Amino acid sequence: MSEEKTVSQNLMQAVCVNEAGELGVKHVPRPEPKDGQILLRVAATALNRADLLQKKGLYPPPPGESEILGLEASGVIADIGPGVKGNWMLGSKVMALLGGGGYAEYVAVPEEHIMPVPSNLDLHQAAALPEAWLTAFQLLHFIAKVKANETVLIHAGASGVGTAAIQLVRLCRAIPVVTTGSPEKLTFAEQVGAAVGINYKEEDFSEKVLQFTQGKGADVILDCIGGSFWEKNICSLAMDGRWVLYGTLGGKTADGDLFGKLLRKRGQLLSSLLRNRSLEYKAELVRSFTEQVLPHFQSTDPSLRPVIDSMFNMEDVEMAHQHMEANKNIGKIIIKIGTF
């Protein structure tokens, strides 16, 4: 009996991808925290489009990271590994940026990638923060270096990153302009704080951006679309503007005079991913976000808030993926992992 109990303690439930690319819950070895790591008992994780790509074999995890899907998680501290320097306590509610492993009951995380959960958020809400908010914060401040009063064009404005970016742009006293693909998403983005919303399926967003900015254009563009938007992006870009590419949902190629038109605007084409960054880079990003943004989830009026579209149980994860693939979500899709 004791041997069976030991085996059970060494296993956990996790969502795994089979050879057909289908998701299912299986028992797998439970991780042990290594030097400098904290073991998190997971309450919830959240979907990201990277999960959809990894499931199809198109976005493998960086070397050394878990093969299990999931780039963020919330939960409580279950164990503290050797060499941990912070004043972490067992049972504390935390959220974490992950290189993988979030779709499981336990995940081991470098302590520098963990943040305390704001007291006014529950663990399901907290699961919506790490990847989306840190991505938006990185794009705006580490990459684009946005300034007060600048106009920021945010594509996919009703997504998890989009709704986070709207609020972060407002926080630094800049002006968010967004594109979305439906009237419902436009209305929601404006409720979150967008100065103007544009339905890219019905209007030429570049014309609307130039109209809103009185011909100047956007100082910064956060672009997860890529190919299909390139020409309108350059038309929307202000002189000396910064176009930040962080996804290619609209294709990876661009036909036409991209470089010539960009050059005439003296535009900067920047690009960034977060998952394949170094542990040190992510640690600095988490530290900066914790100091500069996290307090505003409680102190700002109105306070910052994660936007949650829907919640699914762990065994219904395939349905959650289908919901995201259909582009139906406004904000984050949460997967409930553990019972707390």
Predicted pLDDT at 299: 74
- In DSSP terms, which residues pair with 201 in a beta bridge? none
Count Cβ neighbours within 10 Å for each residue of 123-132 and write b for 16 or more, e otherwise: bbbbbbbbbb
Residue 4 scores a pLDDT above 70? no
CB atoms within 10 A of CB 40: 29
What lies within 8 Å, CB to CB, of 227 at 6+ separation is 248, 250, 251, 252, 253, 254
* Distance of alpha carbon 163 from alpha carbon 308, whole angstroms: 10
The residues facing 220 across adjacent strands are 152, 242
pLDDT digits (tens, 9 = 90+) for 127-174: 999 999 999 999 999 999 999 999 999 999 999 999 999 999 999 999
- 33 and 80 in contact (C-beta within 8 Å)? yes
Provide the pLDDT for residue 285: 98
pTM: 0.92
Distance, in Å, from the CA atom of 99 to the CA atom of 61, rounded to the nearest integer, reads 7
- Give the torsion sign (CA, 56, 58, 59, 65): positive
Q: How many Å is the maximal CA-CA distance in the chain?
A: 75
Structure confidence by residue, pLDDT tens digits, 52-104: 999 988 888 888 889 999 999 999 999 999 999 999 999 999 999 999 999 99
145: left (phi over 0), alpha (psi -120 to 50) or beta: left
148 neighbors 291 (Cβ within 8 angstroms): no
What gap in Å lies between CA 166 and CA 36, rounded to an integer? Answer: 34
CB atoms within 10 A of CB 81: 17
pLDDT at 275: 85
In order of 20, 146, 168, 310, the CA distances from 270 in angstroms are: 36, 13, 19, 32
Give the model's confidence band at 329: pLDDT under 50 very low, under 70 low, under 90 confident, else very high.
confident
| Torsional sign, CA 144, 150, 156, 158 | positive
DSSP annotation of 174 reads -
> 289: which 2 tokens?
């976000």
pLDDT at 2 over 60: no
**More confident: 231 or 1:** 231
**Residue where the block lists tokens 């605007």:** 265
The pLDDT, as a whole number, for residue 57 is 87
Give me the pLDDT at residue 300, please.
63
Task: Please report the pLDDT score of residue 192 as a whole number.
Answer: 93
Whether residue 11 is predicted with pLDDT greater than 60 in this model: the reply is yes
pLDDT at residue 3 is higher than 50: no
Q: What is the separation of C-alpha 328 from the centre of its chain, rounded to a whole number of angstroms? A: 17
Beta carbons of 272 and 143 less than 8 angstroms apart: yes
Higher pLDDT: 138 or 328? It is 138
- Kindly report, residue by residue over 183-203, the tens digit of the pLDDT: 999 999 999 999 999 999 999
Q: Which pair of tokens denotes residue 259?
A: 């470089």
pLDDT of residue 169: 98
| Average pLDDT taken over every residue of the chain | 93
pLDDT tens-place string over residues 14-45: 999 988 888 999 999 999 999 999 999 999 99
Q: What percent of the chain has pLDDT over 70?
A: 97
Q: What is the DSSP string of 272-329?
A: --STTS-HHHHHHHHHHHHHHTTTHHHHSSSPP---EEEEEEGGGHHHHHHHHHTT--
pLDDT value, residue 8: 62
